[in-house]
Amino acid sequence: MRIADMDWRMVEDWTRHDDRCVLPIGSTEQHAGLSLATDAINAERVALEAAEPLGIPVFPVLSYGLTPYFSDYPGTVTLRLATYAALLRDILDSLKHAGFRRILIVNGHGGNQPASVLAQEWMMDNPDSRVRVHDWWRAPKTWAAVQSVDPVATHASWMENFPWTRLPGSTPAPDAKDTVDTDRMRTMAPFEVRLLLEDGSFGGAYQRDDSDMRAIWAVAVEETRALLDNW
């Protein structure tokens, strides 16, 4: 259930019998011809669909993350590492204060990996609580489903092109893009990253059949739900 559809009494009632909740985290960054909010949209959607049958509260997605390498693309918003760590810690503290002791963080952005370290650090200070960080798109079963469709699956490629991340009137290029050297990209300043990537995709096809995308999504939702259901 979305926290947006609950009031404080409903949360208090929930935590009397269950201490699970979900926090989606994403990013606002360039995704070639897809929505700038792709990572946030996908993280929140998979969290909501996974938690719905279980009735577990899902908090609003944290839409800003760590993406300094894309900062030369207009619309990208990045936080500093210290800011991000402090923000996430404050959120976890608030969730615990509300009565939640098992918190699943559903991550939709590769750059947010420091969240895993922060979660471990937070549990060191809060040994009565548990946090899991779940990168939904590269969890074992979901990634296997992606690879079965096309092994070339990169940032802003077909892998992130769902009906809900597309923009009206946007037509993807018909040809696949050559993959870029991401190791080289990691040594570049933001303006050089934009010159290297051009449209922003890391390479590969821009779109696949929606039947393939729905099948991958179903695996992702089920894999995420299993983490909550079997906790």
Chain segment 31-71, per-residue pLDDT in tens: 999 999 999 999 999 999 999 999 999 999 999 999 999 99
198-215: average pLDDT: 97
Output the CA–CA distances (angstroms, integers) from residue 59 to 8, 24, 106, in the order listed. Answer: 13, 7, 11
pLDDT at 10 over 90: yes
**In terms of Cα–Cα distance, which of 75, 104, 89, 46 is closest to 220?**
46
**Considering its fold, how many domains does the chain have in total?**
1
Instruction: Show the domain range for 130.
Output: 3-229
**In terms of Cα–Cα distance, which of 123, 118, 160, 117 is closest to 138?**
160
Query: Average pLDDT of the chain?
Result: 97
- Cα–Cα distance measured from residue 63 to residue 13, given in angstroms and rounded to the nearest whole number: 28
**In terms of Cα–Cα distance, which of 149, 144, 113, 118 is closest to 131?**
118
pLDDT at 218 over 90: yes
Look-up of token digits 């922003």:
200
120-143: average pLDDT: 98
Residue 2: per-residue pLDDT: 97
Chain segment 94-106, per-residue pLDDT in tens: 999 999 999 999 9
Domain containing 49 — which CATH number? 3.40.50.10310
**In terms of Cα–Cα distance, which of 170, 207, 164 is closest to 42?**
164
Residue 169: per-residue pLDDT: 86
Residue 171: per-residue pLDDT: 82
User: Tokens in use for 61?
Assistant: 């997605």
Q: How many percent of the chain have pLDDT more than 70? A: 100
